[in-house]
């Protein structure tokens, strides 16, 4: 008011019952022809309900955010453990390659085809596990979009489904 400028403030006032309640105080100076403030016009509005609702909402959002962060951490940990365990299985698939080389002369063409399919599937599974692990450790928003050739993807699906 000392600057003669309009004002708007939130404040707590004690009512007749002794309770403190939030209010919005606003004031505008009324000036004469020379620009001198002759009086003030103002309003005092009880905003207790809005203020307490906003505080409850903020607490709820904060609590939910913490729960989501904890859930995301749990999911990241699960993805790491699961991918580690699945990688172990895929690494054991190298024995298929050893078997193929050791028995190459004794295997039929059909058996060689089956072993090649197993090797291809294990390589794709390893790549998928790596992708899941990478995705779980890096925020989705931080990854740059990239073009994907869907024809290659369809060929891989066809190969997986062929006997």
> Residue written as tokens 């193929």?
100
Task: Find the length of the chain.
Answer: 163
Enumerate residues 6+ apart whose C-beta is below 8 A from 113. none
3-state secondary structure of 44: strand
In whole angstroms, what is the distance from residue 25 CA to residue 28 CA?
Answer: 11
Residue 115 has phi, psi (to 5 degrees) of: -65, -40
Give the highest mean pLDDT range of 9-23, 95-109, 117-131, 146-160.
Answer: 9-23
pLDDT of 139 reads: 59
pLDDT of 21 reads: 94
Enumerate residues 6+ apart whose C-beta is below 8 A from 31. 4, 37, 38
In whole angstroms, what is the distance from residue 124 CA to residue 80 CA?
Answer: 18
Average pLDDT over residues 92-117: 86
In whole angstroms, what is the distance from residue 6 CA to residue 12 CA?
Answer: 20
Name the band, by pLDDT with cuts 50, 70 and 90, for residue 142: low
pLDDT of 138 reads: 65
């Amino acid at each position: 008011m000392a600057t003669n400028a309009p004002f708007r403030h939130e404040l707590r006032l004690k009512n007749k019952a002794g309770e403190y309640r939030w209010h919005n105080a606003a004031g505008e100076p009324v000036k004469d022809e020379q620009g001198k403030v002759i009086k003030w016009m103002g309003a005092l509005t009880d905003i207790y309900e809005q203020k307490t609702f906003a505080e409850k909402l903020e607490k709820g959002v904060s609590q939910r955010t913490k729960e989501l962060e904890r859930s995301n951490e749990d999911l990241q940990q699960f993805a790491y453990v699961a991918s580690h365990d699945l990688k172990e299985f895929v690494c054991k698939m190298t024995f298929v390659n050893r078997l193929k080389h050791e028995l190459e002369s004794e295997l039929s063409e059909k058996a060689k085809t089956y072993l090649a399919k197993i090797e291809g599937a294990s390589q794709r599974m390893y790549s998928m596990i790596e992708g899941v692990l990478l995705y779980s450790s890096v925020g989705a928003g931080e990854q740059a979009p990239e073009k994907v050739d869907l024809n290659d993807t369809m060929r891989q699906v066809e190969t997986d489904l062929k006997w």
